Structure 1
Amino acid sequence: MIVGVDEAGRGPVLGPLVVAGVAVESDVALRHMNVRDSKKLSPGKREAMAPEIEKLATWELLVIPAEEIDLMRAEMSLNDFEAKLFAQLIERLHPETAYVDAADVDAIEFKRCVQRELPFAVEVVSQHNADELFPVVSAASILAKVRRDREMRAIEAEIGDTIGSGYSSDPDTITFLEKWIKKKGTLPPHTRTSWDTARRLLAESRNRKLDEFGGR
């Protein structure tokens, strides 16, 4: 059996990290589905493909909320945390070979980190852009992205405002954070408070208030 593992939501300031593992005896059916890196597919296409992948494969998901990411960041690097999560899914699915999308700039070091977390021997193939190279990783990428999209929609419904994708590069996300901080004086739920973007926006808001107070 082979397993592909990938994540969605590593970098955003808002929302969870989702890690998916997909296990198959052969990737032939996935190749026939023409699975590709989820970032190249529209959300609608990913949503349509996800149930087909789930029928073809054994799969597992981990959804890590922002609060847990902040706690783990205090103890270890994000790369080490991801290696632990990847290893958890590999352990559950118990393949002979696991293909992983390397989170570290050093793909070999990421492989070693994953293997150190495993209680049994597994061949780990760690490569950058593995979601473009191996269909089983592409399938995991799709499941992770679909689940994260659903989680973000649930957060948006909970908050009752447009929150965007959660990435710092998304103007909708930054606008939402700025509005919330200005109104409440704190960061909103589901924010990764350890992220530089979150700290910067909070500091800028507090500095503006001090300037306004001093200017009176």
Structure 2
Amino acid sequence: KIYSEHKMDSRDEVVAAASIIAKVIRDSAMEELSQELNIDLGSGYPSDPKTKEALEILCEDEVLADCIRREWANVKRAWSRNHDRPIQTRANERNGVFQSSLDEWE
């Protein structure tokens, strides 16, 4: 059985440990992306001022990096301020290829 509850990490130590591990891995991935893109992405959450600033800069490029969430409102706004066309889809989306599970990550 799978149980899903809001704030379960405050009631279950295994879930709490998994949550901490996931956060550390996510933070590490954000740092790697920041280095790869040569820009401080901050936490990567859309409300983070550093993330907002980075998205504004990244949306000036002609091609949007694949790691950017195209559905975020602040990404759409930043893109439309800089371009007179819709945000392009990712290469794999154009080919009808979508990730449907974590096992599909390269």
Amino acid at match of 2:14: V
| Contact preservation (8 Å) 1:186, 1:202 | no
| Contact preservation (8 Å) 2:58, 2:64 | yes
Amino acid at match of 2:64: L
Residue 3 of structure 2 aligns to a residue whose secondary structure is strand
Counterpart position of 2:19: 141
Counterpart position of 1:158: 36
Counterpart position of 1:193: 70
Q: TM-score, normalised by structure 2?
A: 0.69
Residues 102-126 of structure 1 show CA distances to partners (whole Å, capped at 9, x for unaligned) of: xxxxxxxxxxxxxxxxxxxx2x333
Counterpart position of 1:130: 8
Stretches (4+) displaced over 6 A: none
Deviation, 1:168, is 1.2
> How many residues were matched structurally?
84
CA-based RMSD of the aligned residues comes to 1.7
Amino acid at match of 2:17: A
Amino acid at match of 2:46: S
Counterpart Cα distance in 2 of 1:203 and 1:145:
32
Alignment of 1:16-165 (within 5 A): 122=1, 124-165=2-43
Deviation, 1:189, is 3.5
Q: Which structure has the highest strand share of the two? A: 1
Counterpart Cα distance in 1 of 2:54 and 2:3:
39
Counterpart position of 1:169: 47
Q: TM-score, normalised by structure 1?
A: 0.36
Residues 147-205 of structure 1 show CA distances to partners (whole Å, capped at 9, x for unaligned) of: 111111111111112111111111111111111222x2342341011333322221122
Higher relative contact order (CA 8 A, sep 6+): 1
Amino acid at match of 2:44: G
Structure 1's unaligned 5+ residue stretches are: 1-121, 208-216
Identity of aligned residues (%): 36
Counterpart position of 1:205: 82
